[in-house]
Amino acid sequence: MARAGDGKTRSDKRRADRRLSKRVTEEEFLRFEARARAAGYESANAYLSAFVRSDGQDHWIDRKDAARILVALAKIGTNVNQIAHRFNAGRAWALALEDRRIIDDAIKVCEQVMRAIRSHLT
């Protein structure tokens, strides 16, 4: 073990003298805590520590990339919606009921992802 004055280097943990702080509402904290648990961390604090150390699995995207994703999802959603509309109107070959459900589910998923991204951009 290193002792004072022995010239040995100290661990980074002992030299950690900076503190990060952010006040959040109860709702914001609960959402952050839920994200931490969904990412496999035992607590919000462990999740935050992993983020600060950049060893977490969470991938953060900037607003510009989020906007590009929204545009791409909108195009995909529009195309899937047009396909579903043509099939439902009988202007295309018949699809199995399961295929129609998949198309409908794809539209819903695109809409959900777009809403989630928009909520993070505001």
pLDDT, tens digit (0-9, with 9 covering 90-100), for 77-91: 888 888 778 777 776
Contact by Cβ (8 Å): 121, 71 = no
Q: Check whether residue 71 and residue 101 sit in a common domain.
A: yes
Q: Check whether residue 73 and residue 44 sit in a common domain.
A: no
Q: Is residue 11 part of a domain?
A: no
What is the token pair recorded at 43? 């607590």
Q: Is residue 104 part of a domain?
A: yes
What local confidence, expressed as pLDDT, does residue 38 receive? 82
Number of structural domains the chain divides into = 2
| pLDDT of 37 over the 70 cut | yes
Q: Check whether residue 70 and residue 115 sit in a common domain.
A: yes
Q: State the burial class of residue 101 (Cβ atoms within 10 Å of its Cβ: 0-12, 13-18, 19+).
A: exposed
Average pLDDT over residues 34-55: 81
Q: Check whether residue 115 and residue 71 sit in a common domain.
A: yes
Confidence of residue 31 (pLDDT cuts 50, 70, 90): very high
| pLDDT of 122 over the 70 cut | no
- Give pLDDT tens digits for 60-119: 566 677 778 888 888 888 888 887 787 777 766 666 777 778 878 888 888 888 888 877
Q: What domain range is 88 assigned to? A: 63-121
- 3-state class of 14 per DSSP? helix
Q: Check whether residue 41 and residue 73 sit in a common domain.
A: no
Q: Check whether residue 45 and residue 70 sit in a common domain.
A: no
Mean pLDDT of the chain: 78
Q: Check whether residue 55 and residue 88 sit in a common domain.
A: no
Q: Check whether residue 55 and residue 71 sit in a common domain.
A: no
Q: Is residue 31 part of a domain?
A: yes
Q: Is residue 89 part of a domain?
A: yes
Q: Check whether residue 73 and residue 42 sit in a common domain.
A: no
Model-wide pTM > 0.75: no
